[in-house]
Chains A and B, each alone.
Chain A
Protein backbone atom coordinates (compact mmCIF):
# COMPACT_ATOMS: atom_id res chain seq x y z
CA UNK A 1 0.00 0.00 0.00
CA UNK A 2 2.90 2.38 0.57
CA UNK A 3 3.61 3.30 -3.01
CA UNK A 4 5.12 6.65 -3.81
CA UNK A 5 2.62 7.20 -6.59
CA UNK A 6 -0.23 7.55 -4.11
CA UNK A 7 -1.52 10.96 -3.28
CA UNK A 8 -3.58 9.70 -0.37
CA UNK A 9 -2.96 6.74 1.91
CA UNK A 10 -5.32 5.78 4.67
CA UNK A 11 -3.91 3.20 7.05
CA UNK A 12 -5.73 1.39 9.83
CA UNK A 13 -8.19 4.17 10.58
CA UNK A 14 -10.43 3.33 13.49
CA UNK A 15 -12.88 5.48 15.38
CA UNK A 16 -15.79 4.97 17.66
CA UNK A 17 -18.45 7.29 18.95
CA UNK A 18 -19.47 6.44 22.47
CA UNK A 19 -18.82 2.75 22.23
CA UNK A 20 -20.13 2.40 18.70
CA UNK A 21 -17.36 1.37 16.31
CA UNK A 22 -18.01 3.51 13.26
CA UNK A 23 -14.71 2.75 11.59
CA UNK A 24 -12.51 -0.27 12.20
CA UNK A 25 -9.13 -0.42 10.56
CA UNK A 26 -9.86 1.11 7.18
CA UNK A 27 -6.93 0.94 4.79
CA UNK A 28 -6.78 2.01 1.18
CA UNK A 29 -5.05 4.46 -1.12
CA UNK A 30 -5.79 6.89 -3.90
CA UNK A 31 -3.20 6.87 -6.67
CA UNK A 32 -1.95 10.13 -8.04
CA UNK A 33 -4.38 11.28 -10.75
CA UNK A 34 -6.59 8.37 -9.82
CA UNK A 35 -10.30 8.20 -9.18
CA UNK A 36 -11.28 6.00 -6.26
CA UNK A 37 -14.84 5.25 -5.27
CA UNK A 38 -16.28 4.30 -1.91
CA UNK A 39 -19.60 2.60 -1.74
CA UNK A 40 -21.50 1.10 1.13
CA UNK A 41 -24.88 1.18 2.75
CA UNK A 42 -25.91 4.07 4.99
CA UNK A 43 -24.19 4.00 8.32
CA UNK A 44 -21.08 2.26 7.06
CA UNK A 45 -18.96 5.23 8.04
CA UNK A 46 -18.28 6.95 4.74
CA UNK A 47 -18.88 10.48 5.97
CA UNK A 48 -16.93 9.79 9.14
CA UNK A 49 -14.07 8.65 6.97
CA UNK A 50 -14.28 11.86 4.98
CA UNK A 51 -14.27 13.84 8.20
CA UNK A 52 -11.13 12.02 9.29
CA UNK A 53 -9.30 12.51 6.01
CA UNK A 54 -10.20 16.19 5.68
CA UNK A 55 -9.36 16.98 9.27
CA UNK A 56 -12.79 17.56 10.75
CA UNK A 57 -12.24 14.58 13.03
CA UNK A 58 -9.11 13.16 14.63
CA UNK A 59 -9.18 9.39 14.39
CA UNK A 60 -8.59 7.35 17.49
CA UNK A 61 -6.49 4.88 15.57
CA UNK A 62 -4.63 4.92 12.31
CA UNK A 63 -2.89 7.36 10.07
CA UNK A 64 -3.74 9.50 7.09
CA UNK A 65 -0.89 10.25 4.71
CA UNK A 66 -1.07 12.88 2.02
CA UNK A 67 1.68 13.02 -0.56
CA UNK A 68 3.75 10.73 1.59
CA UNK A 69 3.58 12.92 4.69
CA UNK A 70 1.58 12.03 7.76
CA UNK A 71 -1.26 14.42 8.47
CA UNK A 72 -1.28 14.30 12.21
CA UNK A 73 -2.34 17.55 13.67
CA UNK A 74 -2.78 19.43 10.43
CA UNK A 75 -5.84 21.59 10.71
CA UNK A 76 -8.61 21.56 8.15
CA UNK A 77 -7.45 24.76 6.52
CA UNK A 78 -3.85 23.57 6.36
CA UNK A 79 -4.92 20.42 4.57
CA UNK A 80 -6.99 22.52 2.24
CA UNK A 81 -4.08 24.79 1.50
CA UNK A 82 -2.00 21.75 0.65
CA UNK A 83 -4.49 20.81 -2.00
CA UNK A 84 -7.10 18.63 -0.31
CA UNK A 85 -10.63 19.96 -0.64
CA UNK A 86 -13.88 18.25 0.29
CA UNK A 87 -17.52 18.76 -0.38
CA UNK A 88 -20.33 18.01 2.04
CA UNK A 89 -23.19 15.58 1.98
CA UNK A 90 -25.60 18.51 2.11
CA UNK A 91 -24.00 21.33 0.13
CA UNK A 92 -22.87 24.18 2.31
CA UNK A 93 -23.04 27.19 0.08
CA UNK A 94 -22.58 30.76 1.25
CA UNK A 95 -26.22 31.76 1.28
CA UNK A 96 -25.84 35.52 1.16
CA UNK A 97 -23.22 35.52 -1.56
CA UNK A 98 -23.86 35.26 -5.27
CA UNK A 99 -22.84 32.21 -7.26
CA UNK A 100 -19.83 34.07 -8.56
CA UNK A 101 -18.82 35.23 -5.09
CA UNK A 102 -19.15 31.69 -3.77
CA UNK A 103 -16.66 30.50 -6.33
CA UNK A 104 -14.42 33.46 -5.64
CA UNK A 105 -14.09 32.35 -2.04
CA UNK A 106 -12.69 29.09 -3.32
CA UNK A 107 -10.04 31.02 -5.20
CA UNK A 108 -8.88 33.00 -2.18
CA UNK A 109 -6.45 30.34 -1.05
CA UNK A 110 -4.09 30.91 -3.97
CA UNK A 111 -3.74 34.59 -3.32
CA UNK A 112 -2.35 36.53 -0.41
CA UNK A 113 -3.32 39.87 1.03
CA UNK A 114 -3.04 41.40 4.45
CA UNK A 115 -5.84 43.31 6.12
CA UNK A 116 -3.89 46.54 5.79
CA UNK A 117 -3.43 46.07 2.07
CA UNK A 118 -7.08 45.27 1.64
CA UNK A 119 -8.18 48.29 3.64
CA UNK A 120 -6.09 50.52 1.50
CA UNK A 121 -7.06 48.86 -1.78
CA UNK A 122 -3.38 48.84 -2.65
CA UNK A 123 -2.35 47.82 -6.17
CA UNK A 124 -1.37 44.44 -4.79
CA UNK A 125 -4.74 43.95 -3.17
CA UNK A 126 -6.52 44.94 -6.37
CA UNK A 127 -4.35 42.65 -8.41
CA UNK A 128 -5.09 39.66 -6.18
CA UNK A 129 -8.78 40.45 -6.38
CA UNK A 130 -8.62 40.56 -10.18
CA UNK A 131 -6.92 37.16 -10.17
CA UNK A 132 -9.63 35.76 -7.94
CA UNK A 133 -12.32 37.22 -10.17
CA UNK A 134 -10.65 35.88 -13.30
CA UNK A 135 -10.22 32.35 -11.93
CA UNK A 136 -13.79 32.35 -10.68
CA UNK A 137 -15.21 33.51 -14.00
CA UNK A 138 -13.35 30.76 -15.81
CA UNK A 139 -14.61 28.08 -13.45
CA UNK A 140 -18.09 29.57 -13.69
CA UNK A 141 -18.01 28.96 -17.43
CA UNK A 142 -16.50 25.52 -17.13
CA UNK A 143 -19.38 24.34 -14.95
CA UNK A 144 -21.97 26.10 -17.11
CA UNK A 145 -23.12 28.39 -14.32
CA UNK A 146 -22.73 31.63 -16.26
CA UNK A 147 -26.46 32.29 -16.35
CA UNK A 148 -26.57 32.14 -12.55
CA UNK A 149 -23.55 34.39 -12.05
CA UNK A 150 -25.26 37.10 -9.99
CA UNK A 151 -27.91 34.96 -8.34
CA UNK A 152 -27.87 34.66 -4.58
CA UNK A 153 -26.92 31.18 -3.51
CA UNK A 154 -29.89 31.02 -1.16
CA UNK A 155 -32.34 30.74 -4.06
CA UNK A 156 -30.58 27.92 -5.87
CA UNK A 157 -32.08 24.47 -6.28
CA UNK A 158 -30.46 21.47 -4.62
CA UNK A 159 -28.83 20.40 -7.85
CA UNK A 160 -27.46 23.85 -8.55
CA UNK A 161 -26.03 24.07 -5.04
CA UNK A 162 -24.31 20.76 -5.53
CA UNK A 163 -22.62 21.94 -8.70
CA UNK A 164 -21.73 25.27 -7.15
CA UNK A 165 -20.06 23.51 -4.24
CA UNK A 166 -17.96 21.46 -6.62
CA UNK A 167 -17.05 24.45 -8.77
CA UNK A 168 -16.07 26.33 -5.64
CA UNK A 169 -13.92 23.43 -4.50
CA UNK A 170 -12.19 23.12 -7.83
CA UNK A 171 -11.35 26.76 -8.58
CA UNK A 172 -8.52 26.70 -6.05
CA UNK A 173 -6.73 24.08 -8.17
CA UNK A 174 -6.69 21.32 -5.57
CA UNK A 175 -4.76 18.11 -5.99
CA UNK A 176 -7.22 15.86 -4.25
CA UNK A 177 -10.95 16.30 -4.31
CA UNK A 178 -13.15 14.49 -1.79
CA UNK A 179 -16.70 14.31 -3.11
CA UNK A 180 -19.33 13.29 -0.57
CA UNK A 181 -22.46 12.06 -2.35
CA UNK A 182 -22.15 14.56 -5.18
CA UNK A 183 -24.97 13.08 -7.17
CA UNK A 184 -27.81 13.27 -4.68
CA UNK A 185 -30.22 16.00 -5.68
CA UNK A 186 -29.03 15.94 -9.29
CA UNK A 187 -31.15 14.94 -12.26
CA UNK A 188 -29.88 12.57 -14.95
CA UNK A 189 -28.47 15.30 -17.17
CA UNK A 190 -26.64 16.85 -14.28
CA UNK A 191 -25.21 13.50 -13.25
CA UNK A 192 -23.96 12.95 -16.79
CA UNK A 193 -22.35 16.39 -16.71
CA UNK A 194 -20.82 15.61 -13.37
CA UNK A 195 -19.31 12.42 -14.70
CA UNK A 196 -17.88 14.32 -17.64
CA UNK A 197 -16.40 16.99 -15.36
CA UNK A 198 -14.76 14.44 -13.09
CA UNK A 199 -13.08 12.78 -16.06
CA UNK A 200 -11.99 16.17 -17.37
CA UNK A 201 -10.62 17.21 -13.99
CA UNK A 202 -8.61 14.03 -13.77
CA UNK A 203 -7.11 14.79 -17.16
CA UNK A 204 -6.06 18.13 -15.74
CA UNK A 205 -4.21 16.36 -12.96
CA UNK A 206 -6.75 16.13 -10.16
CA UNK A 207 -7.17 13.01 -8.01
CA UNK A 208 -10.63 12.18 -6.77
CA UNK A 209 -12.09 10.21 -3.89
CA UNK A 210 -15.75 9.71 -4.49
CA UNK A 211 -18.61 8.49 -2.34
CA UNK A 212 -21.87 7.88 -4.11
CA UNK A 213 -25.03 5.82 -4.23
CA UNK A 214 -25.28 6.26 -7.93
CA UNK A 215 -23.75 3.22 -9.57
CA UNK A 216 -23.71 4.94 -12.93
CA UNK A 217 -21.53 7.70 -11.58
CA UNK A 218 -19.35 5.16 -9.81
CA UNK A 219 -18.29 3.66 -13.11
CA UNK A 220 -15.98 6.65 -13.50
CA UNK A 221 -13.75 5.17 -10.78
CA UNK A 222 -10.56 3.28 -11.49
CA UNK A 223 -11.03 1.36 -8.33
CA UNK A 224 -13.90 0.90 -5.90
CA UNK A 225 -13.81 -0.04 -2.23
CA UNK A 226 -16.86 -1.35 -0.47
CA UNK A 227 -17.23 -0.07 3.05
CA UNK A 228 -19.48 -2.07 5.29
CA UNK A 229 -19.87 -1.16 8.95
CA UNK A 230 -16.51 0.46 9.21
CA UNK A 231 -14.48 -2.06 7.26
CA UNK A 232 -13.54 -2.50 3.65
CA UNK A 233 -14.92 -5.85 2.66
CA UNK A 234 -13.80 -5.89 -0.92
CA UNK A 235 -12.07 -3.81 -3.58
CA UNK A 236 -11.65 -3.87 -7.30
CA UNK A 237 -13.01 -2.37 -10.45
CA UNK A 238 -16.70 -1.52 -10.59
CA UNK A 239 -17.48 -4.71 -12.54
CA UNK A 240 -15.54 -6.97 -10.19
CA UNK A 241 -17.22 -5.45 -7.18
CA UNK A 242 -20.67 -5.80 -8.68
CA UNK A 243 -20.11 -9.53 -9.19
CA UNK A 244 -18.84 -10.09 -5.66
CA UNK A 245 -21.34 -12.24 -3.75
CA UNK A 246 -20.63 -10.59 -0.44
CA UNK A 247 -21.43 -7.20 -1.94
CA UNK A 248 -24.70 -8.47 -3.35
CA UNK A 249 -25.52 -9.86 0.03
CA UNK A 250 -24.83 -6.51 1.65
CA UNK A 251 -26.82 -4.53 -0.85
CA UNK A 252 -29.61 -7.05 -1.32
CA UNK A 253 -30.04 -6.62 -4.99
CA UNK A 254 -28.80 -3.14 -5.83
Chain B
Protein backbone atom coordinates (compact mmCIF):
# COMPACT_ATOMS: atom_id res chain seq x y z
CA UNK B 1 0.00 0.00 0.00
CA UNK B 2 2.77 2.40 0.95
CA UNK B 3 4.54 1.44 -2.26
CA UNK B 4 1.65 2.69 -4.35
CA UNK B 5 1.33 6.05 -2.61
CA UNK B 6 5.06 6.74 -2.39
CA UNK B 7 5.55 7.88 -6.00
CA UNK B 8 2.64 10.31 -5.68
CA UNK B 9 4.00 11.76 -2.46
CA UNK B 10 7.37 12.29 -4.08
CA UNK B 11 5.67 13.93 -7.03
CA UNK B 12 3.74 16.18 -4.68
CA UNK B 13 6.85 17.25 -2.85
CA UNK B 14 8.71 17.93 -6.08
CA UNK B 15 5.77 19.92 -7.40
CA UNK B 16 5.58 22.05 -4.26
CA UNK B 17 9.24 22.79 -4.21
CA UNK B 18 9.84 23.46 -7.92
CA UNK B 19 8.97 27.19 -8.04
CA UNK B 20 11.47 27.86 -5.28
CA UNK B 21 14.36 26.28 -7.10
CA UNK B 22 13.59 27.10 -10.69
CA UNK B 23 14.29 30.42 -12.35
CA UNK B 24 11.31 32.70 -12.72
CA UNK B 25 10.97 32.31 -16.46
CA UNK B 26 10.71 28.54 -16.20
CA UNK B 27 8.07 28.85 -13.51
CA UNK B 28 6.23 31.16 -15.87
CA UNK B 29 6.33 28.45 -18.52
CA UNK B 30 5.07 25.92 -16.03
CA UNK B 31 2.08 28.12 -15.32
CA UNK B 32 1.25 28.09 -19.00
CA UNK B 33 1.75 24.34 -19.06
CA UNK B 34 -0.83 23.99 -16.32
CA UNK B 35 -3.29 26.26 -18.09
CA UNK B 36 -2.82 24.54 -21.42
CA UNK B 37 -3.17 21.14 -19.80
CA UNK B 38 -6.66 22.08 -18.65
CA UNK B 39 -7.68 22.90 -22.21
CA UNK B 40 -5.82 19.80 -23.32
CA UNK B 41 -7.91 17.53 -21.07
CA UNK B 42 -10.94 18.44 -23.12
CA UNK B 43 -9.34 17.69 -26.45
CA UNK B 44 -7.85 14.52 -25.01
CA UNK B 45 -11.20 13.18 -23.83
CA UNK B 46 -12.69 13.75 -27.25
CA UNK B 47 -9.73 12.19 -29.00
CA UNK B 48 -9.01 9.24 -26.80
CA UNK B 49 -12.52 8.31 -25.77
CA UNK B 50 -14.68 9.44 -28.64
CA UNK B 51 -12.24 9.19 -31.50
CA UNK B 52 -12.92 12.82 -32.41
CA UNK B 53 -10.24 15.24 -33.61
CA UNK B 54 -11.25 18.61 -32.17
CA UNK B 55 -9.55 21.61 -33.71
CA UNK B 56 -11.93 24.16 -32.26
CA UNK B 57 -10.64 24.36 -28.69
CA UNK B 58 -9.09 27.79 -29.27
CA UNK B 59 -12.58 29.22 -29.73
CA UNK B 60 -13.71 28.19 -26.27
CA UNK B 61 -10.37 29.21 -24.81
CA UNK B 62 -10.99 32.63 -26.36
CA UNK B 63 -14.56 32.83 -25.10
CA UNK B 64 -13.39 32.15 -21.56
CA UNK B 65 -10.58 34.67 -21.87
CA UNK B 66 -12.70 37.43 -23.37
CA UNK B 67 -15.58 36.85 -20.99
CA UNK B 68 -13.18 37.32 -18.11
CA UNK B 69 -11.47 40.27 -19.77
CA UNK B 70 -14.64 42.10 -20.69
CA UNK B 71 -16.55 41.50 -17.49
CA UNK B 72 -13.70 42.47 -15.21
CA UNK B 73 -12.42 45.49 -17.11
CA UNK B 74 -15.45 46.96 -18.89
CA UNK B 75 -18.10 46.04 -16.38
CA UNK B 76 -16.07 45.73 -13.21
CA UNK B 77 -17.55 42.42 -12.17
CA UNK B 78 -15.66 40.07 -9.87
CA UNK B 79 -13.51 37.44 -11.51
CA UNK B 80 -15.83 34.58 -10.67
CA UNK B 81 -18.44 36.20 -12.90
CA UNK B 82 -16.06 36.13 -15.85
CA UNK B 83 -15.30 32.48 -15.33
CA UNK B 84 -18.95 31.53 -15.01
CA UNK B 85 -20.21 33.59 -17.93
CA UNK B 86 -17.42 32.32 -20.15
CA UNK B 87 -18.20 28.77 -19.12
CA UNK B 88 -21.90 29.09 -19.77
CA UNK B 89 -21.43 30.72 -23.17
CA UNK B 90 -18.89 28.10 -24.20
CA UNK B 91 -21.09 25.21 -23.16
CA UNK B 92 -24.09 26.67 -24.96
CA UNK B 93 -22.11 27.23 -28.14
CA UNK B 94 -20.78 23.69 -27.89
CA UNK B 95 -24.31 22.37 -27.56
CA UNK B 96 -25.77 24.21 -30.53
CA UNK B 97 -22.80 23.84 -32.85
CA UNK B 98 -21.85 20.40 -31.62
CA UNK B 99 -25.22 18.78 -32.13
CA UNK B 100 -25.25 19.19 -35.93
CA UNK B 101 -21.57 18.71 -36.63
CA UNK B 102 -20.93 15.76 -34.35
CA UNK B 103 -22.95 13.63 -36.72
CA UNK B 104 -20.31 14.02 -39.38
CA UNK B 105 -17.78 11.35 -40.17
CA UNK B 106 -14.33 11.72 -38.69
CA UNK B 107 -12.62 13.55 -41.58
CA UNK B 108 -15.49 15.95 -42.08
CA UNK B 109 -15.76 16.57 -38.36
CA UNK B 110 -12.08 17.40 -38.02
CA UNK B 111 -12.32 19.87 -40.88
CA UNK B 112 -15.55 21.31 -39.52
CA UNK B 113 -13.87 22.04 -36.19
CA UNK B 114 -10.97 23.60 -38.07
CA UNK B 115 -13.39 25.81 -39.96
CA UNK B 116 -15.03 26.68 -36.65
CA UNK B 117 -11.70 27.79 -35.28
CA UNK B 118 -11.21 30.16 -38.18
CA UNK B 119 -14.74 31.47 -37.90
CA UNK B 120 -14.28 32.05 -34.19
CA UNK B 121 -11.02 33.89 -34.74
CA UNK B 122 -12.57 36.02 -37.49
CA UNK B 123 -15.42 36.97 -35.19
CA UNK B 124 -12.98 37.88 -32.43
CA UNK B 125 -11.39 40.26 -34.96
CA UNK B 126 -14.66 41.64 -36.27
CA UNK B 127 -16.40 42.17 -32.99
CA UNK B 128 -13.84 44.60 -31.70
CA UNK B 129 -16.48 46.42 -29.68
CA UNK B 130 -16.21 43.37 -27.45
CA UNK B 131 -12.65 42.24 -27.91
CA UNK B 132 -10.78 45.38 -28.99
CA UNK B 133 -9.51 43.28 -31.88
CA UNK B 134 -5.76 43.33 -32.32
CA UNK B 135 -5.36 46.06 -29.75
CA UNK B 136 -6.50 43.66 -27.12
CA UNK B 137 -7.86 44.15 -23.66
CA UNK B 138 -5.37 45.01 -20.98
CA UNK B 139 -5.45 45.67 -17.30
CA UNK B 140 -7.27 42.50 -16.40
CA UNK B 141 -7.04 42.44 -12.61
CA UNK B 142 -5.05 39.80 -10.85
CA UNK B 143 -6.86 37.05 -9.07
CA UNK B 144 -7.10 37.42 -5.33
CA UNK B 145 -7.69 34.84 -2.69
CA UNK B 146 -8.94 37.09 0.03
CA UNK B 147 -6.32 39.80 0.21
CA UNK B 148 -3.60 37.53 -1.15
CA UNK B 149 -2.88 38.64 -4.70
CA UNK B 150 -1.73 36.04 -7.22
CA UNK B 151 0.51 38.40 -9.04
CA UNK B 152 3.71 36.43 -9.47
CA UNK B 153 4.34 33.34 -11.58
CA UNK B 154 5.10 31.39 -8.43
CA UNK B 155 1.81 32.23 -6.77
CA UNK B 156 -0.23 31.60 -9.91
CA UNK B 157 1.63 28.33 -10.42
CA UNK B 158 -0.02 26.82 -7.38
CA UNK B 159 -3.47 27.94 -8.45
CA UNK B 160 -3.10 26.88 -12.07
CA UNK B 161 -1.83 23.44 -11.20
CA UNK B 162 -4.35 22.93 -8.43
CA UNK B 163 -7.12 23.62 -10.92
CA UNK B 164 -5.37 21.40 -13.46
CA UNK B 165 -5.10 18.49 -11.06
CA UNK B 166 -8.71 18.99 -10.06
CA UNK B 167 -9.74 18.84 -13.71
CA UNK B 168 -7.59 15.77 -14.18
CA UNK B 169 -9.31 14.05 -11.27
CA UNK B 170 -12.69 14.91 -12.73
CA UNK B 171 -11.67 13.66 -16.16
CA UNK B 172 -10.27 10.49 -14.71
CA UNK B 173 -13.42 9.94 -12.65
CA UNK B 174 -15.37 10.26 -15.85
CA UNK B 175 -13.33 7.66 -17.69
CA UNK B 176 -13.69 5.25 -14.76
CA UNK B 177 -17.43 5.56 -14.59
CA UNK B 178 -20.51 4.36 -16.37
CA UNK B 179 -20.15 7.20 -18.86
CA UNK B 180 -16.52 6.27 -19.43
CA UNK B 181 -17.53 2.72 -20.17
CA UNK B 182 -20.05 3.86 -22.75
CA UNK B 183 -17.49 6.21 -24.29
CA UNK B 184 -14.97 3.46 -24.79
CA UNK B 185 -17.67 1.22 -26.18
CA UNK B 186 -18.67 3.93 -28.61
CA UNK B 187 -15.08 4.34 -29.67
CA UNK B 188 -14.47 0.63 -30.23
CA UNK B 189 -17.68 -0.49 -31.94
CA UNK B 190 -20.34 2.18 -32.42
CA UNK B 191 -22.86 -0.19 -34.02
CA UNK B 192 -22.67 -2.56 -31.10
CA UNK B 193 -22.88 0.31 -28.62
CA UNK B 194 -25.99 1.70 -30.21
CA UNK B 195 -27.60 -1.73 -30.30
CA UNK B 196 -27.12 -1.82 -26.53
CA UNK B 197 -29.01 1.39 -26.03
CA UNK B 198 -26.18 3.93 -25.98
CA UNK B 199 -27.22 7.26 -27.45
CA UNK B 200 -24.08 8.08 -29.36
CA UNK B 201 -25.06 11.51 -30.54
CA UNK B 202 -26.02 12.80 -27.13
CA UNK B 203 -22.95 11.26 -25.55
CA UNK B 204 -20.63 12.90 -28.06
CA UNK B 205 -22.36 16.20 -27.64
CA UNK B 206 -22.06 16.13 -23.88
CA UNK B 207 -18.35 15.36 -24.02
CA UNK B 208 -17.93 18.16 -26.53
CA UNK B 209 -19.65 20.49 -24.10
CA UNK B 210 -17.39 19.29 -21.32
CA UNK B 211 -14.35 19.89 -23.50
CA UNK B 212 -15.60 23.41 -24.19
CA UNK B 213 -16.00 23.95 -20.46
CA UNK B 214 -12.39 22.96 -19.83
CA UNK B 215 -11.26 25.21 -22.66
CA UNK B 216 -13.18 28.13 -21.24
CA UNK B 217 -11.80 27.71 -17.74
CA UNK B 218 -8.30 27.58 -19.15
CA UNK B 219 -9.00 30.78 -21.09
CA UNK B 220 -10.24 32.61 -18.01
CA UNK B 221 -7.15 31.58 -16.05
CA UNK B 222 -4.99 32.73 -18.94
CA UNK B 223 -6.67 36.14 -18.94
CA UNK B 224 -6.04 36.62 -15.24
CA UNK B 225 -2.46 35.47 -15.49
CA UNK B 226 -1.26 37.47 -18.43
CA UNK B 227 -3.53 40.47 -17.74
CA UNK B 228 -3.76 41.10 -21.44
CA UNK B 229 -5.59 39.28 -24.20
CA UNK B 230 -5.72 39.90 -27.92
CA UNK B 231 -6.95 38.03 -30.96
CA UNK B 232 -3.56 36.68 -31.92
CA UNK B 233 -3.72 34.27 -28.99
CA UNK B 234 -6.88 32.62 -30.22
CA UNK B 235 -6.08 31.56 -33.74
CA UNK B 236 -5.88 28.24 -35.52
CA UNK B 237 -2.32 27.67 -34.30
CA UNK B 238 -3.62 27.62 -30.74
CA UNK B 239 -6.11 24.94 -31.69
CA UNK B 240 -3.32 22.95 -33.27
CA UNK B 241 -1.32 23.35 -30.06
CA UNK B 242 -4.13 21.97 -27.96
CA UNK B 243 -4.43 19.04 -30.32
CA UNK B 244 -0.68 18.52 -30.13
CA UNK B 245 -0.92 18.41 -26.37
CA UNK B 246 -3.52 15.69 -26.54
CA UNK B 247 -1.74 13.58 -29.15
CA UNK B 248 1.85 14.01 -27.99
CA UNK B 249 0.90 13.34 -24.43
CA UNK B 250 -1.27 10.41 -25.35
CA UNK B 251 -5.02 10.48 -25.33
CA UNK B 252 -5.69 7.05 -23.87
CA UNK B 253 -5.49 8.44 -20.38
CA UNK B 254 -6.30 12.06 -19.50
CA UNK B 255 -3.03 12.64 -17.62
CA UNK B 256 -1.27 12.44 -20.96
CA UNK B 257 -2.33 16.03 -21.56
CA UNK B 258 -0.06 17.09 -18.72
CA UNK B 259 2.92 15.49 -20.43
CA UNK B 260 1.90 17.05 -23.71
CA UNK B 261 1.49 20.49 -22.17
CA UNK B 262 4.88 20.31 -20.48
CA UNK B 263 6.42 19.21 -23.76
CA UNK B 264 5.12 22.08 -25.83
CA UNK B 265 5.80 24.80 -23.31
CA UNK B 266 9.23 23.74 -22.07
CA UNK B 267 10.76 22.52 -25.30
CA UNK B 268 10.63 25.78 -27.28
CA UNK B 269 12.50 27.47 -24.44
CA UNK B 270 15.49 25.26 -25.02
CA UNK B 271 15.26 25.51 -28.76
CA UNK B 272 14.81 29.27 -28.83
CA UNK B 273 18.23 29.71 -30.38
CA UNK B 274 16.97 27.96 -33.49
CA UNK B 275 14.23 30.46 -34.07
CA UNK B 276 10.89 29.10 -35.18
CA UNK B 277 12.31 25.61 -35.47
CA UNK B 278 10.26 24.20 -32.63
CA UNK B 279 7.12 24.29 -34.71
CA UNK B 280 8.69 21.96 -37.25
CA UNK B 281 9.74 19.70 -34.41
CA UNK B 282 6.19 19.57 -33.11
CA UNK B 283 4.91 18.56 -36.52
CA UNK B 284 7.52 15.85 -36.80
CA UNK B 285 6.84 14.71 -33.24
CA UNK B 286 3.15 14.49 -34.07
CA UNK B 287 3.87 12.36 -37.11
CA UNK B 288 6.23 10.09 -35.17
CA UNK B 289 3.79 9.62 -32.32
CA UNK B 290 0.93 8.84 -34.65
CA UNK B 291 2.91 6.35 -36.66
CA UNK B 292 5.14 4.74 -34.05
CA UNK B 293 3.81 5.48 -30.60
CA UNK B 294 0.04 5.90 -30.74
CA UNK B 295 -0.30 5.86 -26.97
CA UNK B 296 1.73 9.03 -26.85
CA UNK B 297 4.52 10.04 -24.51
CA UNK B 298 2.41 9.07 -21.52
CA UNK B 299 1.99 5.61 -22.93
CA UNK B 300 5.70 5.45 -23.58
CA UNK B 301 6.44 6.56 -20.04
CA UNK B 302 4.09 3.94 -18.66
CA UNK B 303 5.86 1.22 -20.62
CA UNK B 304 9.20 2.50 -19.34
CA UNK B 305 7.89 2.61 -15.78
CA UNK B 306 6.61 -0.93 -15.99
CA UNK B 307 9.88 -2.14 -17.34
CA UNK B 308 11.82 -0.31 -14.65
CA UNK B 309 9.77 -1.95 -11.94
CA UNK B 310 10.28 -5.20 -13.83
CA UNK B 311 6.59 -5.83 -13.86
CA UNK B 312 6.38 -5.93 -17.59
CA UNK B 313 3.42 -4.54 -19.54
CA UNK B 314 0.14 -5.94 -18.30
CA UNK B 315 -2.61 -4.60 -20.51
CA UNK B 316 -5.28 -6.97 -19.21
CA UNK B 317 -4.96 -5.98 -15.56
CA UNK B 318 -4.60 -2.33 -16.43
CA UNK B 319 -7.85 -2.48 -18.31
CA UNK B 320 -9.64 -4.21 -15.46
CA UNK B 321 -8.27 -1.62 -13.05
CA UNK B 322 -9.85 1.06 -15.16
CA UNK B 323 -13.23 -0.56 -14.79
CA UNK B 324 -13.18 -0.37 -11.02
Contact = CB atoms under 8 A, between A and B. Distances in A.
In the complex they form, whether A and B have CB atoms below 8 Å apart is answered with yes
Interface of A: 54, 56, 75-77, 80-81, 85-86, 88, 92-98, 100-101, 104-106, 108-109, 111, 113, 115, 118-121, 125, 128-129, 132-133, 149-152, 165, 168-169, 172
Contact of B196 (A106, A150, A151): A106
Contact of A108 (B173, B195, B196): B196
A120 B191 CA distance: 29
A242 B170 CA distance: 60
B188 to A, nearest CB: 4
A76 B199 CA distance: 9
Considering the complex of A and B, which 10 residue pairs feature the smallest CB-CB distances, nearest first? A109-B197, A118-B177, A80-B197, A92-B192, A94-B188, A150-B320, A119-B170, A118-B179, A105-B185, A92-B189
A22 B119 CA distance: 46
Given A95-B189, A98-B316, A101-B323, A85 B196 contact: yes
Contact of A113 (B179, B184, B192): B179
Contacts of A115: 174, 179, 206-207, 210
B contact face: mostly helix, strand, loop, or mixed = helix
Nearest to B167: A119
Contacts of A81: 197
Contacts of A80: 194-197
Interface string B156-184: 00000000000000110110111111101
15 contacts: A77-B198, A88-B191, A88-B195, A95-B188, A97-B188, A98-B320, A101-B320, A105-B198, A108-B182, A109-B197, A118-B179, A118-B180, A119-B210, A129-B178, A169-B196
B7 interface: no
Interface string B7-43: 0000000000000000000000000000000000000
Given A77-B194, A95-B189, A172-B196, A108 B320 contact: no
Interface residues of B, number: 37
Contacts, number: 126
Given A80-B194, A85-B195, A152-B315, A108 B177 contact: no
B317 interface: yes
A contact face: mostly helix, strand, loop, or mixed = helix
A75 B181 CA distance: 21
Contact of B316 (A88, A95, A113, A150): A150
Given A81-B197, A111-B178, A115-B174, A94 B319 contact: no
Nearest to B322: A101
Interface-centre pick from B193, B195, B316 (highest chain A CB count, 10 A):
B195
A105 B195 contact: no
Contact of B197 (A92, A94, A172): A172
A97 B185 contact: yes
A120 B195 CA distance: 28
Nearest to A81: B197
